[in-house]
Structure 1
Amino acid sequence: MRLCRILYSLLGQHAPAKLLPQLFQEAVFNEVNIQMIDRKLQEVLFSKRIPSYTVSKEACDKLSEHGINAYERSGGDAAMYINLPPLLGPDVKHHFEGIASELSKPYFNCIRSLSKLPKPPTHWKFIPGWTSYANGTAISVDCPSEEGLVFDTEVLVKESNAPIIAVAASVNGWYLWVSPRLFEPPVEPTNMVTLADLIPLYSPGTSLSSPKCIVGHFVSYDRARITEEYLTDPTGLRFLDTMSLHICVSGLTSTQRHIKMASDKHLYNNKLFKDFVAELNAKRGSTNQSDVESLEWIKEASLNSLVEVYKLYCKKDPPQDKSLRVIFEKGSRKDVIKNFQKLVTYCALDVHMTFDIFQCLWKLFTERFPHPLTFYGLLEMGSMYLPVNRSWVDFQERANQAYADLNTKQKTMLQKLAEDALKRHNGNDKSYERDPWLWDLDWSKPKKPASKSEDAQYIASLPKWYRELIPKPIKDHYKEGPTLVTAQMKIAPKLLRLCWNGLPLHFDQTLKWGTLIPGRVPKPVGDPQFYKQNSNLKENRSSHALSIQSPQSQILPSITVVKTAAAGPRLLQFPYREYLQYWEKEIEKRLFDLNSRVAFKNRVDPTPRDKFLLDELRRSVEVMPLDFDVMHRLIASFKQVSEECKVEQFATEKLTLPIYEYLGELQVKGALFWQNKHRYDTRRCGMVGRQKIHRRTTTDTINPEIATCWFCPLPNEGGQGLPVGSPLSKPFQVHIASGRLHSAQTSGEGENQAADQILRDRIRASFWQSYSKRVMSQMYVFLPTRLLPPTVQSSLNEEAAPRGQLYGAILPQVIAAGTISRRAVEPLWLTASNAEPERLGSEIKAMVQAPPGYCIVGADVDSQEMWIASLIGDSKVGFQGGTPYGWMTLEGSKAKGTDLHTKTANLIGIKRNEAKVLNYARLYGSGVEFTKHLLSKFQSNIRPEEASLKAEKLMRATKGYRVSVPSQNNSEGKVEYKSIWRGGTESHVFNALEAIARSPEPRTPVLGAQITRALTPKAVQDDVGFT
């Protein structure tokens, strides 16, 4: 209907009056009031006509349970008939099969010609260009003449991206191409590759449109070194990748890949492998390590390298000596010439191995993917072409220079912050002991100067941490300052005075980066190591009208701690009072704002432990070295909240841990603590940390051990509780942008500006920092003027010299089917995000520019996966839109808030674009854990517990809940049960998808494509995570 509406808007006023009555017919609506296509068009496309439908009250009522009003029809344009070209068959299904067969037929013929290879020659001629080896003779030729070839190239990595040798094989003979550069004097390494450096595959005078098919392993690497592929006009050359064929037939998921690697290399201590084995053995009731290696999918699959794939399909060790590869990776032209025969034989063996793999794989591939469209799709995905011009070179130069400038500026500002810290704290008063960031740096100084010179005296006055930032020898460089400092160093977050949600960052030698959570009370109370006695405490506090009995001891404002290091233990002074100045502001927001009070009042499963916990927090606050007015305010808040807790209503239960051990959790989670009914069950509340059986979020500090605080680690995108090496690394850019990771305000305005500027620059440089190597490694070739199309030649501006105008192309090195879902994989162009003004280099896609006379046409099937999934789900009901998912996909309106993405966004309070990502992730199999991970990335201030609640709420509303229903009677007459989804908007969809996945031979409905052998029900059986 979208196409019809577009045509209607285009034809509205300009179509002839005679045409309009024929085009537009009365709208037809189905059982749930979704408008259908024109009846005559239905007959043309599907060889079937249904004149009308009756509204299904049962279906509409079912949809209303999910907030969908299917009784109400949308405005409904008149149905439109389009005069389609004649179909190649009785219906649209046969039409596309006919097109696919017609397009792929020439290449099927090319492949059929690759039935057998002759023996390779034993001696190779060292002459430039192509040499043919057939029937015992070797002659120079322009190019291989056959339509089907197995092909491999080799490159001198240290010198250039250009090929140095190439070997091809056909049924008639073998071919060797030797680069003319081997016969020229050596040159300096360069990224520049010209057309003359590449390998021709069409002889002069041969039509470039004649079909040829090149078979190779990761063949896009070889394609990028073929002359004709850079020409503006398309050729008949296509490339078939045996790596892609293997991934389609026997590919692995990312988890399977890691387990397979661990199993092959006997890395049984690998954490992922150990966890997998433990879960698998628990399920099977076994403890045998060898059970894993006997898994069907491990025997049916392999990694993607040529050697591993050869072992899998050919069932023998490869005849290849991979040690020779080091010459191509690290050697020179001289090394290639010296080892020429060995290296060409090495390349020829790669070709023969590729052919042997292909012979085994091709039959498997055509059986598992019978539709010609799957095959032709692989060929087309392997023919990507990105036109570029001089802007591509200029873009790289600009981005590199801007990145270098940012790094220089960042380094200069860090040096300034280090110098300011030295000036502020290098006196005899040890003021650094009162700084929440700098207190644990090594402020020790040499006992005496190296000499009596003024330079030696000054160097001896510098603390050790500062001296370590000066290049050696220090006496020659100390005047330059701390030039070694970088943002990657452990000292950088301290100089920047970084905070996480208002709390100063702390580095624990064992636990790495996180924050300190005050509230631990050192035992015994009154120990002079931690407490000071103050007879006036009670009197002073009662003057503030506190009706709470105050203790006579108070924790010292500065706590002596021990830091263990390789050089020996050091005594340090932790500035507890100064740290509390940041904590008290944050704790009021977390525990005593309106939201937190409402959360406590409406807490899940109230228990007397709640009041006991607040009492413990009050007692811990009473002994903190806080100002009396701050303490009065906090304790008054405790009293106001705890008065709403009635202890006598509930029975007490025994806790796994003492109640005060939960104070850290309460402070970290805030209001969400009260929403978790398992908040006191350390085995069920998803905590991580100190002891495996307790699994806590907050843990005791370890090195240095601070008796008054717990440690809360910074979030790690690799998993909750994993240590964070640097808070300035790429994953934290989103937290900097959101303000969750920020610099503390200081009295020095200049310091704040410098720190804030460094954080902004880190965000700006993040894209180029991640992608620059990938960008610089792109192989691009500019075409000589004589090979440019006439429209381009006529546009050349001679006045643009000396830089000139250049036109050429990049051939992305794509794995056409790089995942088990047959999605293309490429490290740069298929992963780069959209341009953002504040991200240096993110405009990379805009550097792909069509030459004069050409244009780039974009095409995208909107919501493709959703349409397919909804169609599969609706098929179980019998009509389009019969399921909530199908109805929202077909009829949902963004403006009315009834489309799938808006509904998801409103359900859990996120942005619509974020909801879109979650909806697609669910289709691809993500569960609660991955949904939590995505929510944490979307909303940097969301806490893990809140992410869990939202993820579970979303899963319950969409997929629903699992129930067991009778399936069938087995051979013994007993009823077997199966698990299905029920009660969610997507229950029908996932039941239908899982029915396909769990069938004995899962195939996609239209193309009949099978899933990888490593994921078939027979292979995975009940293996954890793959069913």
Structure 2
Amino acid sequence: MLAISRLKTPTPRLFRPIHFSARLLKALEEPRINPVGIQYLPWNLQDKIFTSNTSKSRRQLSAKERGLIDISKRHLDDNGLLGKKTSIVEPITMDLPKLEGRSLDEHFYKLGMYSSEPYLGKSEQFAASSVPPRPQQAEWVLQSGWTKYEAGKAPVRVAYPDENDALVFDTEVLYKISDFPVLATACSATAWYGWVSPWLLGETENLRNLIPLGSKEEKIVIGHNIAYDRKRISEEYNIKPTKSMFIDTMSLHISVSGMCSRQRPDYQRIKKTKRELNKIDIEQIDEDIIQEVQMLETAESENPWIRFSSLNNLADVGLLHCGISHNKEVRDDFGTMTREEAREDFSRLMDYCARDVDTTFQVYKALLPQFLKVSPHPVTFAGLRHMSSMFLPINKSWENYIESSDRCYYSSLEEVYNSLVKLAETAVSLKDKPEEWQKDPWLKQLDWTIKPFKMIKGKKGEPPRLPKNLKLPGYPEWYKKLFPKAGAPMNLTVRSRVSSLLLRLQWEGHPLIWSDVHGFVFKVQPDEERAYLKKNFTKADMNTETNMALKDDTSGVYIKVPHKDGPAARCTNPMSKSYLSYFEKGLLTSEYEIAAKALQLNAQCSYWISNRERIHSQMPIWSDDADMGVPNNSPKDFGIILPSLIPMGTVTRRAVENTWLTASNAKKNRIGSELKAMIQAPPGYKFVGADVDSEELWIASVVGDSLFKMHGGTPLGWMTLEGTKSEGTDLHSKTAKILNISRNEAKIFNYGRIYGAGIKFATQLLKQFRPELSMDEATATANELYTATKGIKSKSVIFGDNKFWRAGTESIIFNRLEEMANQDLPRTPVLGVAITQALMAKNLGKSGFLTSRINWTIQSSGVDYLHLLVTSMQYLIDRYGIDARLMITVHDELRYMSSDADTYRTALALQISNIWTRAMFCEQLGISDLPYSCAFFSAVDIDHVLRKETDMDCVTPSNPTPIEFGESLDMKGLLNKCDTLTSKSSKQKRLTLSKIDYQARVPVLEDLDRIKQLQVLKYMEVQVCKSVKELKAIEWDIDWGVRSRGTQVLDHVEETTKKTTKKMTAPKSTEVKMVRKMKPAVTDARAKPRTPRVIPDRTHTDPVIRVVEPLPSQNKPASPGSKNTLAALMAPSTPPPSPRVAAEEVFTAQELQEIFMSTGA
């Protein structure tokens, strides 16, 4: 009572700290639980976030909302989830900043405009302008540094381009010599600029010259794959961000006209055919060529999207959008020229570089307006700005890491190499003992042919001599092939086919045998064949064998060595890392210990083999190359790598980068796998970041939950929010149980399914995880998974002409995603970004690419999530004076570099940004509530190195010394460290966002939902019903008048048994006619179906039964029902027609019988 009285009466200022009342509320407020057990945010947070919908959250539920809840509960109960244990925790409170507007949509619009300006305005202005003609080839001045070229004026030397608004920029390098630039050109609305490296002119021998571009002015810098050019700008190598925004025309093209990976092969095939046909002279045309032209025309007509897309290089993009034919032949010269040759050909090379800039400007001019139309929300443009400014700090550990990894790699290679060489020398010593190698099942597979050679007659008095460059005379062919040329060392690795034979590999005691047709096989006795086939091994069909010795061998049966890609694939290298598990299980063995050791070393080197070249090609810049804003004692104490990141590199607008965005986590048995941990903060700084928990899975689930207007309304939504591994109620555990695989393996299935992958994908993957299954068993198990999750394909008037899924845990989600994907112009539900032209329905022809379109909806929404996060973070950083900067994002995770003093404030800003972003998704999908379990990051990491988890020691063969752990804080732990963004040591910035004009917009999916509102309960019921009988009952209750053909009331008859349960008195060939009278729309879900009555039909000579639908009550209007859509239900009602027989539709006897049985007639 004392606490309550304190809340109600004013207290002296001395006893009222800033969060005093909030802490009392924490003790008094009960958790908010929705009807299916999902905990929501407490009221004190709810009211601060959903400011425009607080009254809606507190009001009484409508009858429709109660009906949706009942359907949801039944659906959850059918899937064993209703009433299961949920996690209810004591709600916390925090000091949330006030929204910049009356709604989250207004808030984020203003944040997006704040982050976008003045760059958005300048970019639009520049796209509407023109640039001066580029200088003539002979006009370029050969002098180091920048030179400015203005029409009517003499060229003048400048420190950097003195432009305050916009610049198109391109660099060139002699890439065989160095990664550093030798030439660059740029243009603005008023002038052209050229830059020449002092090294190219011989003024210095230092190759490491960067280009100054100026950083004091807020300007946009435009380029095609601009990240490549940004790496060569000196001002970008500073821990404080510059005022330049980089706009990548490649990203603009991909967002507007990019193609998905499934379209690329068709595009390349058709374009290649077109190029080849264009080369043919008229005189060469014959019937075959005419037929090929016709096939090409057919392919183009079936794939109209090809006219709206292209590959991503500047030449193809320029041709598509501007009709510019750009000759890129000069580019090859940069890979062959010396410094002197480049200097002599300076004018031509500069002209080529300037042409690239000119083309890039024309592409930008054409694409920017389209991009802003496709991506209308300012948060997307702001996201493009932030995603283009990433950096990675390093120190001397970087070079130590490369040296150590190389040393371990070469040491392992040498050990294996020496062993293999020894085995080869032992084997070749038998060349003169054929009786021995012919008895050896491995060695006899080698080519022991020894080719004769002629001696060259010597000069007078000299003996005959061997021909020059003769390779190993007197040695067998298999041995000679190990040497590239005479005098070269032996080229023998574990990946060499001969190594498997030298190592005497065997499968369960059977020697491995090489077949050119089937890959590695092994021979078993005929009486063993059945046992192997029962274990799902594949018998090799030796009738197709080209090796006659194997083909004619009838003494046994040849079995294929299993492959992870299925029975059709060939095993060509049993020493690859995918076979390591077979060694460990004792299935694949060798007489030599070195075999297992070689396989382990090969697996140990696999990461470095795959990534070594990309890691070596990184371009680290050290503190003696540029002013980095960090004090250091030696040049290698601090450095920066700028990742070559394409901010929107796929059709789903995900960022693409081939090293850092694909780097794996450190593994104890993988050389060099500690790569990410070599990104290390300078003294006085830390990395602060978090992973968005189940980001894309949650997005998919909330899309489904939104139809119930309640979180956790679908089984997928419930499992995503409240499912636990211990209870076996999470999505991955459920899938693992169905497939009898591990939970980690189930994750791969689940994400593949959410992205639209089908049964074929699941079957192939299941065979990898459970190779003992036959193909039929794997297919049946995959079908069981898809029936339990995606459901059963059905038809209903509620869905018009489209089929839909029902009865699965994810049926509602997939129906919703397919509806979204099948729109004329799909858009992401939150920021309203439109799909690319190459995936628009009107441009697809016969190829629907539905899987790609569904995948686009989910992944592109994940990109929206990231853009909302980084835009919100930048706003909070600026507003509260937090010393932090975005460092890198990897799909659903992001990392900031923050000063030690501001690490906890940065962490709190991340949590606030996440709660705002999640809430924005909910609001735009029509749910004005946010689940407590996903409102906050499960943990925010504060670390001095980049790694997945702060408690990973990152010990690997190349890094035996553990790395000191970082700190990981959940929300409560963070609030104990820091409970407000304000700080005495930093000033808050006054941001005048109230001056930004905002116009409320209609939620993206509202138009999609409008037609369903009158029948929303039926719409949901048909998706959750388990049986055909249930579906028929619901169908019967829906107005007959919306049917385009009577048999649609029993579309599901095709799915039920064809077994006749009761014979009709009429002959088998008898047709039964049903005549239906149109009746009014049924709006009451409890209305009972009417039973048709059967009367004889006297108008036919054949035995026919006519079924007449009872007439509707005359005081009720009838629906016109002219269309097979719900639009018919919304049309103006008209009186029923006067004739008794309104329509006749033919049913089979069995169909009529099914009608009567299902309705109890």
TM-score, normalised via structure 1 length = 0.72
- Structure 1 match to 2:330: 324
1:41 paired residue among 39, 45, 63: 45
Structure 1 position 466 matched with structure 2 position 313? no
Structure 2 residue matching 1:491: 3-state secondary structure:
helix
- Structure 2 match to 1:820: 651
Q: Residues 65 and 488 (structure 1 numbering): CA distance in 2 closer, same or farther, change over 3 Å?
A: same
- Structure 2 match to 1:246: 253
2:534 paired residue among 670, 682, 686: 670
Shifted more, 55-64 versus 983-992: the winner is 55-64
Structure 1 position 400 matched with structure 2 position 406? yes
Question: For 1:115-154, what aligned pairs fall within 5 Å after superposition?
Answer: 115-122=129-136, 123-137=139-153, 138-146=155-163, 147-154=165-172
The amino acid of 2:31's aligned partner reads A
Cα distance in 2, alignment partners of residues 501 and 723 from structure 1: 18
The amino acid of 2:401's aligned partner reads F
The amino acid of 1:131's aligned partner reads T
Structure 1 position 927 matched with structure 2 position 758? yes
Structure 1 position 221 matched with structure 2 position 195? no
Q: Residues 1024 and 506 (structure 1 numbering): CA distance in 2 closer, same or farther, change over 3 Å?
A: farther
> How far 1:916 sits from its partner (Å)?
1.8
Q: Is the 8 A contact 1:501 1:741 kept in 2?
A: no
> How far 1:737 sits from its partner (Å)?
4.0
Cα distance in 2, alignment partners of residues 785 and 220 from structure 1: 19
- Structure 2 match to 1:703: 547
The amino acid of 1:141's aligned partner reads V
Structure 1 residue matching 2:802: 3-state secondary structure:
strand
The amino acid of 1:706's aligned partner reads K
Q: Is the 8 A contact 1:249 1:1013 kept in 2?
A: yes
Q: Residues 228 and 788 (structure 1 numbering): CA distance in 2 closer, same or farther, change over 3 Å?
A: closer
Cα distance in 2, alignment partners of residues 824 and 374 from structure 1: 13
Question: For 1:720-731, what aligned pairs fall within 5 Å after superposition?
Answer: 721-728=568-575
The amino acid of 2:534's aligned partner reads G
Q: Is the 8 A contact 1:411 1:486 kept in 2?
A: yes
Cα distance in 1, alignment partners of residues 221 and 625 from structure 2: 28
Q: Is the 8 A contact 1:113 1:148 kept in 2?
A: no
- Structure 2 match to 1:390: 396
> How far 1:738 sits from its partner (Å)?
4.7
Q: Is the 8 A contact 1:231 1:783 kept in 2?
A: no
**Per-residue displacement from partner, 1:185-209 (whole Å, max 9, x unpaired)?**
796xxxx964xx011111xxxxx46
TM-score, normalised via structure 2 length = 0.64
> How far 1:121 sits from its partner (Å)?
1.6
- Structure 1 match to 2:814: 990
Cα distance in 2, alignment partners of residues 64 and 876 from structure 1: 18
Q: Is the 8 A contact 2:173 2:334 kept in 1?
A: yes
Q: Is the 8 A contact 1:897 1:903 kept in 2?
A: yes
The amino acid of 1:829's aligned partner reads W
Cα distance in 1, alignment partners of residues 639 and 731 from structure 2: 43
Structure 1 position 736 matched with structure 2 position 750? no
> How far 1:385 sits from its partner (Å)?
0.4
Cα distance in 2, alignment partners of residues 406 and 290 from structure 1: 55
Q: Residues 406 and 926 (structure 1 numbering): CA distance in 2 closer, same or farther, change over 3 Å?
A: same
Cα distance in 2, alignment partners of residues 121 and 807 from structure 1: 40
1:77 paired residue among 80, 89, 104: 89
Structure 2 residue matching 1:1018: 3-state secondary structure:
helix
Q: Is the 8 A contact 2:539 2:557 kept in 1?
A: no
Shifted more, 944-953 versus 408-417: the winner is 944-953
Structure 1 position 370 matched with structure 2 position 344? no
Cα distance in 1, alignment partners of residues 589 and 410 from structure 2: 28
Q: Residues 323 and 850 (structure 1 numbering): CA distance in 2 closer, same or farther, change over 3 Å?
A: same
- Structure 1 match to 2:36: 32
Structure 1 position 67 matched with structure 2 position 67? no
> How far 1:948 sits from its partner (Å)?
3.6
- Structure 1 match to 2:316: 308
Structure 1 residue matching 2:551: 3-state secondary structure:
coil
> How far 1:358 sits from its partner (Å)?
0.9
Q: Residues 670 and 720 (structure 1 numbering): CA distance in 2 closer, same or farther, change over 3 Å?
A: closer
> How far 1:923 sits from its partner (Å)?
2.1
Question: For 1:119-198, what aligned pairs fall within 5 Å after superposition?
Answer: 119-122=133-136, 123-137=139-153, 138-146=155-163, 147-184=165-202, 194=208, 197-198=209-210
Structure 1 residue matching 2:546: 3-state secondary structure:
coil
Q: Residues 718 and 101 (structure 1 numbering): CA distance in 2 closer, same or farther, change over 3 Å?
A: farther
**Per-residue displacement from partner, 1:592-621 (whole Å, max 9, x unpaired)?**
xxxxxxxxxxxxxxxxxxxxxxxxxxxx53
Q: Is the 8 A contact 1:888 1:898 kept in 2?
A: yes
Q: Residues 810 and 239 (structure 1 numbering): CA distance in 2 closer, same or farther, change over 3 Å?
A: same
Q: Residues 171 and 741 (structure 1 numbering): CA distance in 2 closer, same or farther, change over 3 Å?
A: farther
Q: Residues 788 and 821 (structure 1 numbering): CA distance in 2 closer, same or farther, change over 3 Å?
A: closer
**Per-residue displacement from partner, 1:604-646 (whole Å, max 9, x unpaired)?**
xxxxxxxxxxxxxxxx53xxxxxxxxxxxx7xxxxxxxxxxxx
> How many matched pairs?
791
Q: Residues 863 and 444 (structure 1 numbering): CA distance in 2 closer, same or farther, change over 3 Å?
A: same
Cα distance in 1, alignment partners of residues 378 and 626 from structure 2: 38
Cα distance in 1, alignment partners of residues 626 and 157 from structure 2: 26
- Structure 1 match to 2:11: none
Cα distance in 2, alignment partners of residues 460 and 121 from structure 1: 64
The amino acid of 2:72's aligned partner reads A
Q: Is the 8 A contact 2:234 2:626 kept in 1?
A: no
**Per-residue displacement from partner, 1:104-161 (whole Å, max 9, x unpaired)?**
1121123134121111122111111111112322211111122211111111111100
2:427 paired residue among 421, 430, 439: 421
Structure 1 position 290 matched with structure 2 position 308? no
> How far 1:171 sits from its partner (Å)?
0.7
2:608 paired residue among 751, 759, 768: 768
The amino acid of 1:403's aligned partner reads Y
Q: Is the 8 A contact 2:539 2:560 kept in 1?
A: no
- Structure 2 match to 1:6: none
Q: Residues 390 and 864 (structure 1 numbering): CA distance in 2 closer, same or farther, change over 3 Å?
A: same
Structure 1 residue matching 2:76: 3-state secondary structure:
helix
**Per-residue displacement from partner, 1:417-452 (whole Å, max 9, x unpaired)?**
2233346x5574724334332222123456899899
Cα distance in 1, alignment partners of residues 366 and 508 from structure 2: 58
The amino acid of 1:142's aligned partner reads A
Q: Residues 287 and 742 (structure 1 numbering): CA distance in 2 closer, same or farther, change over 3 Å?
A: farther
Q: Is the 8 A contact 1:688 1:721 kept in 2?
A: no
- Structure 2 match to 1:554: none
Identity %: 37
Residue segments in structure 1 that go unaligned for 5+ positions in a row: 1-13, 203-207, 271-285, 517-578, 585-619, 622-633, 635-662, 674-686, 691-697, 799-803, 969-975
- Structure 1 match to 2:503: 496
Cα distance in 2, alignment partners of residues 500 and 325 from structure 1: 52
Q: Is the 8 A contact 1:961 1:982 kept in 2?
A: yes
Structure 2 residue matching 1:858: 3-state secondary structure:
strand
The amino acid of 1:377's aligned partner reads G
- Structure 2 match to 1:522: none
> How far 1:943 sits from its partner (Å)?
6.2
Cα distance in 2, alignment partners of residues 323 and 741 from structure 1: 55
Question: For 1:842-881, what aligned pairs fall within 5 Å after superposition?
Answer: 842-881=673-712
> How far 1:290 sits from its partner (Å)?
2.0
Q: Residues 268 and 359 (structure 1 numbering): CA distance in 2 closer, same or farther, change over 3 Å?
A: closer
- Structure 1 match to 2:286: none
Cα distance in 1, alignment partners of residues 196 and 474 from structure 2: 65
Q: Residues 329 and 950 (structure 1 numbering): CA distance in 2 closer, same or farther, change over 3 Å?
A: farther
Cα distance in 2, alignment partners of residues 897 and 72 from structure 1: 10
- Structure 2 match to 1:546: none
Q: Is the 8 A contact 1:736 1:742 kept in 2?
A: no
Structure 1 residue matching 2:315: 3-state secondary structure:
helix
> How far 1:322 sits from its partner (Å)?
1.6
Task: Give the RMSD, CA atoms, in angstroms.
Answer: 3.4
The amino acid of 2:827's aligned partner reads R
